[in-house]
């Protein structure tokens, strides 16, 4: 069955530090992969997506993610975190039209 | 990409009552999905709604509790029936868009008292 695992429930970083959020998926075919961000009390915003091609994808707000088929991973990265990046981050896999979400990682940013 | 207008944005309801959530898309879409996000949790798919056919429900969700309508290609409703405090969640609708991924409504924050 398709599934998405985000091993880190909560991550705390200092402003200006680099960030990597982990995501592992289980899917039998080539996946469509997504990262969404949800700020407190807000809806979901798409950060980036991977459909095919270049395995390093660039998104909005300075985020990037790398698809590694051998590791079944799609980790999200940002070289320098801003206080406004504090939010909940969800990795998701598109599976036969459905979108399956991971459990989310809550990012806290200290000044 | 498509824009989804979802309403109400929030509501506080008495237990035992029902609430209908509406999603209006600014273009015709084949599929619409309904998700639930319980407090502090991730999003769980409730059902898939296609126009002209019965909605397909995921394990753990039943039509009597979450009836869905899809009268045309731009509109869908989800009703949360006979509500209890455990139904307090954010409910979101979504549609897939070829080449763009998935677009979401802004969500309905439901509190059942």
State residue B36's pLDDT score: 97
d(CA A102, CA A8): 11
Gap between the Cα atoms of B106 and B28, Å rounded? 18
Which range of A42-56, A76-90, B86-100 scores highest in mean pLDDT? It is A76-90
Contacts of A102 in chain B (CB under 8 A): 42
What pLDDT is recorded for position B100? 73
- The pLDDT value recorded for residue B98 is 74
Q: Whose structure tokens read 């035992």?
A: B16
* CA-based nearest residue to B106, from A34, A47, A42: A42
Angle at A104 between CA B63 and CA B55, to 5 degrees: 15
Residue A41: per-residue pLDDT: 76
- Reference A85, options A6, A4, A7, A17; nearest CA is A17
pLDDT band at A65 (very low <50, low <70, confident <90, very high): very high
Task: Give yes or no for residue A1 having a pLDDT over 80.
Answer: no
Q: Is the model's pLDDT at A95 over the cut of 80? A: no
Place of tokens 């209908």: B20
Q: What is the mean pLDDT of residues B88-92?
A: 96
Q: Tell me the mean pLDDT in the region A65-74.
A: 95
Average pLDDT, stretch A64-72? 95
Distance CA B62, CA B73 (A): 23
**Residue A99 to residue B105, Cβ atoms within 8 A:** no
Give the single-character DSSP code of B36: E
Omega within 30 of 0 (cis) for the link into B8: yes
What whole-number percentage of chain A has pLDDT above 90? 74
Strand B4-7, strand A56-58: pairing: unpaired
Greater model confidence, B102 or A66: A66
Torsional sign, CA B22, B25, B28, B34: negative
Give contacts of B99 with chain A, Cβ < 8 Å: 51
Measure CB to CB from residue B48 to each of A46, A92, A98 and give the nearest one. A98
**Yes or no, beta carbons of B101 and A49 under 8 Å apart:** yes
Q: What is the mean pLDDT of chain A?
A: 92
CB atoms within 10 A of CB A89: 23
Q: How far apart are CA A46 and CA A35, in angstroms?
A: 6
């Amino acid at each position: 069955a398709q599934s998405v695992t985000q091993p880190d429930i909560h991550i705390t970083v200092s402003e200006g530090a680099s960030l990597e959020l982990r995501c592992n998926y289980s899917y039998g075919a080539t996946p469509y992969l997504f990262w969404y961000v949800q700020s407190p009390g807000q809806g979901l915003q798409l950060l980036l997506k991977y459909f095919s091609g270049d395995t390093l994808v660039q998104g909005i707000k300075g985020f990037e993610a790398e698809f590694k088929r051998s590791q079944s991973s799609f980790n999200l990265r940002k070289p320098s975190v801003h206080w406004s990046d504090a939010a909940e981050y969800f990795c998701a896999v598109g599976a036969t039209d459905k979108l399956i979400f991971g459990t989310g990682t809550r990012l806290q940013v200290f000044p | 990409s498509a824009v989804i207008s979802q309403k109400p944005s929030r509501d506080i309801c008495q237990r035992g009552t029902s609430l209908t959530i509406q999603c209006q898309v600014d273009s015709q879409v084949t599929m619409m999905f309904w998700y639930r996000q319980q407090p502090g949790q991730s999003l769980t798919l409730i059902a898939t709604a296609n126009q002209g056919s019965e909605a397909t429900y995921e394990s753990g969700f039943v039509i009597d509790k979450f009836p869905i309508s899809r009268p045309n290609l731009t509109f869908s409703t989800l009703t949360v029936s006979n509500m209890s405090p455990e139904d307090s969640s954010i409910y979101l609708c979504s549609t897939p868009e070829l080449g763009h991924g998935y677009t979401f409504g802004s969500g309905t924050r439901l509190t059942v008292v």
